[in-house]
């Protein structure tokens, strides 16, 4: 039995770090949205026990060392069945780029195996399991634009955001999320834990773009600030780094403007650019 699922990237339209918890995680408040850049995940049940992960284009950990592999092992355990799982990951989302690619892959595997194994787990239960793998996994299982609190696992559906275009720009290197959080110096968060009004227009959306992690990543990697400046020069109504970076995104009202910016940024050696829409 075999199934293929698309695993979308995400962006953080705002990311507030409210404080550090006793368990070592950080308390967050984020507006998160999935976008139309996808990994392709092939999930196959096999008679051979164990989990195997293959990815031809990108060097990833194999088996249960990979987050998608751990997701598969977790679902096999939950179902109580025998056999194994073969995963083939076709990567398009840059790795360690602030776009949640690994977490999205894991969520896609969990959703696929919940159906294939007949586990019958509710989305809430899958989200409870998913947070054990990574803080962003519940968001991808939720499958909605969301206001996320806690470590990102408490999710509230958000509707009515404007239908716009984003241009994602990745400058061709990875950033360690744990390193960024370790270097973050926290200040008083004030009232940012409550988003008073979800944006309904492009102007309102741009006014709320915010990422507390930017000051760390931009200080370590000035090229990220350069990418933001170039997007503004190409007509972006607003720009922001996603997650811990280094990917940044620009907000565009029209597809033609986004495609033009995508083409211009793609010409920079070593950089990747993607014109995408919310999903």
Give the chain's length: 279
Out of 10, 91, 228, 272, which one is annotated catalytic?
10
Coil vs helix vs strand at 87: strand
Q: How far is the C-alpha of 116 from the C-alpha of 125, rounded, in Å?
A: 17
E strand or H helix at 217, and its extent?
helix 214-220
Looking at every residue in the chain, the average pLDDT score rounds to 92
Confidence of residue 76 (pLDDT cuts 50, 70, 90): very high
Q: Which two tokens stand for residue 127?
A: 């989200």
Please list, in sequence order, all residues whose beta carbon lies within 8 angstroms of the beta carbon of residue 197, skipping any fewer than 6 positions away: 204
- The 8-class DSSP code of residue 278 comes to B
**Local structure of residue 117 (DSSP, 8 states):** T
Per residue in 97-138, pLDDT (tens digit) is: 999 999 999 999 999 999 999 999 999 999 999 999 999 999
Nearest Cα residue to 20 out of 147, 219, 182:
182
User: Angle at CA 112, nearest 5°, toward 28 and 116?
Assistant: 145
Residue of 192, 93, 100, 178 whose CA lies nearest to 149: 192
Active-site pick, 91, 136, 212, 228: 136
User: Hey, what domains does the chain have and what are their CATH numbers?
Assistant: 2-157 (3.30.230.10), 165-276 (3.30.70.890)
pLDDT-based confidence at residue 20 (cuts at 50, 70, 90): confident
Residue with tokens 């990418």: 227
Q: State pTM to two decimals.
A: 0.93
DSSP assignments along 12-29, one per residue:
EEEEEEEEE-TTS-EEEE
Work out the percent of the chain whose per-residue pLDDT is above 90. Answer: 81
Say how far residue 3 (Cα) sits from the centre of its chain: 22
pLDDT digits (tens, 9 = 90+) for 140-180: 999 999 999 999 999 999 999 999 999 999 999 999 988 89
So what's the pLDDT on residue 263? Answer: 98
Residue 86 bears catalytic tag: no
pLDDT digits (tens, 9 = 90+) for 214-245: 999 999 999 999 999 999 999 999 999 999 99
């Amino acid at each position: 039995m075999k199934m293929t699922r698309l695993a979308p990237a995400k962006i953080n339209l705002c990311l507030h770090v409210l404080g550090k918890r006793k368990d070592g995680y950080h308390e967050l408040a984020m507006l998160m949205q999935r976008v139309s850049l996808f990994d392709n995940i092939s999930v196959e049940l096999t008679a051979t026990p164990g989990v195997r992960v293959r990815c031809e284009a990108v060097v990833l950990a194999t088996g249960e060392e990979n987050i998608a592999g751990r997701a598969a092992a977790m679902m096999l355990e939950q179902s109580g069945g025998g056999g194994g799982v073969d995963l083939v990951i076709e990567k398009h989302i840059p790795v360690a780029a602030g776009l949640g690619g690994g977490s999205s892959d894991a969520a896609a595997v969990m959703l696929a195996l919940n159906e294939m194994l007949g586990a019958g787990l509710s989305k809430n239960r899958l989200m409870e399991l998913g947070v054990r793998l990574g803080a962003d996994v519940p968001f991808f299982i939720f499958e909605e634009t969301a206001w996320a609190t806690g470590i990102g696992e408490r999710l509230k559906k958000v509707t009515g955001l404007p239908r716009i275009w984003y241009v994602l720009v990745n400058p061709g290197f990875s950033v360690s999320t744990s390193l960024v959080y370790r270097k973050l110096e926290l200040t008083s968060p004030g009232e940012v834990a409550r988003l008073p009004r979800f944006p309904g227009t492009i102007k309102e959306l741009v006014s709320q773009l915010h990422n507390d992690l930017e000051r760390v990543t931009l200080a370590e990697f000035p090229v990220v600030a350069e990418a933001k400046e170039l997007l503004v020069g190409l007509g972006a109504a607003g720009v922001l780094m996603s997650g811990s970076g280094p990917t940044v995104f620009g907000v565009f009202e029209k597809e033609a403007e986004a495609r033009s910016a995508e083409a211009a940024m793609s010409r920079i050696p070593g950089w990747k650019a993607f014109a995408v829409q919310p999903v």
